[in-house]
């Protein structure tokens, strides 16, 4: 089983959506038993909250149900998960600072490194933006999650 943790700043927009998109893709492919998917935030500010209501609306229009409750990244996550995927370079830097050892640091990757259609350096935070920002995040995450799944299954 491959265990993946998606991470953004507050775990209410990007990482929770990445979790929802990835779960949807895995289910469509009949691979639910081969993956464990979760998400977390660098900060605990939104702990226990559902994803941002605007993000849930945009995601639902595409068939994604976002039901994850926000939680912060914990030290044990570095031991439990095989891949820890940050949404931007600040998330990556924060994750590297939190990693308990160089070995666990190797598990950290950038979400957009898995994109195959959309060329971008990071998944922008849509929180302070308008509707098109949430749609763009969904576009990036659909591309990146599909690319991630391909990268994990092409060798099998």
Percent of the chain with pLDDT over 90: 97
- Taking the domains of the chain in order of start, what are their residue ranges? 2-153
Cα distances (angstroms) measured from residue 121 to each of 55, 114, 118, 134, 150 = 21, 11, 10, 17, 20
> What residue has token string 């190797």?
106
Q: Is pLDDT above 60 for 156?
A: no
Encode pLDDT of 115-137 as tens digits.
Answer: 999 999 999 999 999 999 999 99
In whole angstroms, give the CA distance from residue 109 to residue 86: 6
Closest CA to 17 of 120, 134, 113, 146: 134
Q: Which residues are the active-site residues?
A: 8, 14, 125
| Residue 155 clears pLDDT 70, i.e. is over it | no
The pTM assigned to this predicted structure is 0.97
User: How many CA atoms lie within 13 Å of 125's alpha carbon, on the beta-carbon side?
Assistant: 15
Kind and range of the H or E run holding 144: helix 131-153
Tell me the CATH architecture of domain 2-153: 3-Layer(aba) Sandwich (3.40)
Tokens of 124: 């922008």
Give residue-wise pLDDT tens across range 59-102: 999 999 999 999 999 999 999 999 999 999 999 999 999 999 99
Compute the average pLDDT of residues 8-30.
97
Q: How confident is the model at residue 154 (pLDDT cuts 50, 70, 90)?
A: confident
31/125 Cα distance (integer angstroms): 29
């Amino acid at each position: 089983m491959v265990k993946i943790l998606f991470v953004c700043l507050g775990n209410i927009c990007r990482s929770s959506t990445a979790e929802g998109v990835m779960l949807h893709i895995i289910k469509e492919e009949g691979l639910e038993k081969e993956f464990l998917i979760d998400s977390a935030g660098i900060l605990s500010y939104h702990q226990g909250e559902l994803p941002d209501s605007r993000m849930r609306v945009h995601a639902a229009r595409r068939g994604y149900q976002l039901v994850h409750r926000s939680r912060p990244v914990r030290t044990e996550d570095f031991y439990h998960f095989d891949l820890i995927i940050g949404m931007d370079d600040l998330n990556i830097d924060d994750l590297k600072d939190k990693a308990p050892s160089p070995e666990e640091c190797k598990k950290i990757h950038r979400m957009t490194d898995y994109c195959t259609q959309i060329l971008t350096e990071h998944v922008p935070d849509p929180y302070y933006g308008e509707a098109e920002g949430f749609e763009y995040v969904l576009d990036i995450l659909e591309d990146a999650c599909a690319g991630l799944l391909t990268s994990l299954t092409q060798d099998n």
